[in-house]
Amino acid sequence: MKDAIAPQTQALYRRAFQALHQFVNRDFHLQTCLPTTVGTLVYFIAHLSQQKMAAATVSTYTAAIGYINRLAGHPDPTQSFIVKKILTSIQRGSYRPDTRLPITPNILNKLVHSLPHIASSHYQACMLKAMYLLAFHAFLRVGEITINKSTSHVLQFDDAKIILAGSRPSTLELTFRSFKGHYNIRPVTLAIHAKSQELSTCPVTALYQYIQLRGVLPGPLFTFPGNIPVSYQHFSLCLRNSLIQAGFQPNQYTSHSFRIGAASTAAATGVPDEEIQQMGRWKSLAFKRYIRLPTLYDIPTPLY
């Protein structure tokens, strides 16, 4: 680099690279930032924007990262369409980054494994495991499994039907009688099949095991003993504790990260748009704003 660019530019590029390295190390526990994926760069730009960095400096830092990747023989992530559009928005002053990260399958597994360490009882651990796994695999909105100001869309016990194959759960049929943006509609049923090779993270098995503890009392699907519904505040606190226990930055995720992760995973594995729209119960292609580009595989996750 010394022979190719001026000393002042070298110093600026070095600062940009150090800032990126510190970012991925602190927030994603990665030891290297090369090659830099488009996904990593998008989140880094959002981070710089949140730090109120001047638009010109953000552009310079981005250019530096592209240059260093090319110098190292890696693809230049700054040439991505999404990166260029974000930089244009920043320069116009119209960029408002949505920095909520998706809960990926890898992160989901770590959250499930955190539960014995953060739950206050076996019952709570089983309940949260079912809630985490179902929130992801059923594209759930948090208002469908917890109580907040409104209870109109909360899934009820009778809305979950588990079909057995012998003595083992094989399929969950989850019926949504109403959901956000849709009223006075015919019920929509989502079928989720058991994962026989991955029982520890199977949403159907987890829900079946939770129901054995819960019992068959009518009311919200997820309740504490005594048929007390789970509040949004309690679920959010438990998710935060799970993220910390698993080694993630809790301020980068919300309960909506399950739904974001579900849409991103489906898109990354080639599921057609129409199917994603149906599974997530979106009334339009608005779900595309949930998908984190370029794909889920570019989103860094902790290595430990």
Domain ranges of the chain: 7-92, 105-298
Q: Given 3.30.470.10, 3.40.50.720, 3.40.50.2300, 1.10.443.10, which CATH number is that of 105-298? A: 1.10.443.10
Residue 304's pLDDT band, with cuts at 50, 70 and 90, is very low
Query: 288: which DSSP letter?
Result: G
| CATH architecture of the domain with residue range 7-92 | Orthogonal Bundle (1.10)
Sign of the alpha-carbon dihedral angle for 277, 174, 224, 204: negative
d(CA 209, CA 193): 15
> Which of 42-56, 90-104, 261-275 is predicted with the least confidence, judged by mean pLDDT?
90-104
Residue 296's pLDDT band, with cuts at 50, 70 and 90, is very low
d(CA 147, CA 89): 37
Is pLDDT at 257 greater than 60 in this prediction? yes
- Residues 95-122: pLDDT tens digits? 565 667 889 899 999 999 999 999 999 9
d(CA 112, CA 131): 10
Burial track 57-88 (b if 16+ CB lie within 10 A, e otherwise): ebbbbbbbbbbbbeeeeeebbbebebbeebbe
Tokens of 222: 């997820």
Is pLDDT at 152 greater than 70 in this prediction? yes
Residue keyed to tokens 């809630």: 131
The whole-number pLDDT of residue 220 equals 96
The residues with which 233 forms a beta bridge, in sequence order, are: none
d(CA 277, CA 62): 34
Question: What is the CA 43 to chain-centroid distance, rounded?
Answer: 14
Residue 268's pLDDT band, with cuts at 50, 70 and 90, is confident
Residue 294's pLDDT band, with cuts at 50, 70 and 90, is very low
- Contacts of residue 184, Cβ cutoff 8 Å, sequence gap at least 6: none
Q: What is the mean pLDDT of residues 177-193?
A: 77
Q: What is the mean pLDDT of residues 165-174?
A: 94
Q: Considering the chain, what percentage of its residues have pLDDT values greater than 70?
A: 87
- Residues 126-136: pLDDT tens digits? 999 999 999 99
The whole-number pLDDT of residue 289 equals 64
Residue 29's pLDDT band, with cuts at 50, 70 and 90, is confident
Calculate Rg over the CA atoms of the chain. 22
- Residues 193-243: pLDDT tens digits? 998 888 899 999 999 999 999 999 999 999 999 999 999 999 999 999 999
The answer to whether the predicted template modeling score (pTM) of the entire model surpasses 0.75 is: no
Q: How many residues does the chain have?
A: 304
